[in-house]
Chains A and B, each alone.
Chain A
Amino acid sequence: EPEVTQTPSHQVTQMGQEVILRCVPISNHLYFYWYRQILGQKVEFLVSFYNNEISEKSEIFDDQFSVERPDGSNFTLKIRSTKLEDSAMYFCASRRSGSPSNEQFFGPGTRLTVL
């Protein structure tokens, strides 16, 4: 069964460093998403991506964040200069256009720890 994959599973970085979180969505999916979940809190939407551009973003997704689909398979989230409060689980999700349930399939997440 196809699945969304994410790498790395856990990343530790120093405050101020750049990080790139990688996702490989399901191959015939067209809509891509990043969410984050700070430990013990609810999941928060960051950004959605369709047709090689951002279609929606939340107020969390400021200039420090960017997304890219560099090669038609990977979908990346870059945080330019990490802050302590960026520590969270980051989930990538993808959705197939036309799915009756519009279900988003989630990857296993990347746990980002900023020291």
Chain B
Amino acid sequence: AQKITQTQPGMFVQEKEAVTLDCTYDTSDPSYGLFWYKQPSSGEMIFLIYQGSYDQQNATEGRYSLNFQKARKSANLVISASQLGDSAMYFCAMREGDSNYQLIWGAGTKLIIKP
């Protein structure tokens, strides 16, 4: 079974609109962390936001927020007021447990912002 599922292979969004990128996860470990990374066409992997399984509040980082619904095992990324520079691949990843923190990755969503 997939540990991280990103159901949207691609999305087109109008500039300045908000966008939600979906991520669901599967783990039986009570301690885990969820990450979102951005990968522009240049290839580097840029950390955006983190949510720990015990965090009481949804994480926010500037225009990025994470809609964490623990019972539904979802951790959707919300980008407010999208910009042309937001066009990229977005990956959801999970760290399970408290061991060495290898990340398990989703397949990614390709986001294209239209002017």
Residue numbers of A with Cβ under 8 A of B are 31, 33, 35, 41-45, 48, 50, 55-56, 58, 89, 91, 93, 95, 100-109, 111
Contact = CB atoms under 8 A, between A and B. Distances in A.
Nearest to B6: A42
B47 A31 contact: no
A90 to B, nearest CB: 11
Closest 8 CB pairs of A and B: A101-B50, A106-B45, A43-B105, A48-B100, A45-B102, A108-B44, A55-B100, A42-B107
9 contacts: A41-B107, A43-B91, A43-B93, A45-B104, A55-B100, A103-B50, A106-B37, A106-B45, A107-B44
Contacts of A91: 45
Main secondary structure of the interface of A (DSSP, over half): strand
A48 B103 CA distance: 10
Nearest to B102: A45
A102 B47 contact: no
A44 B4 CA distance: 12
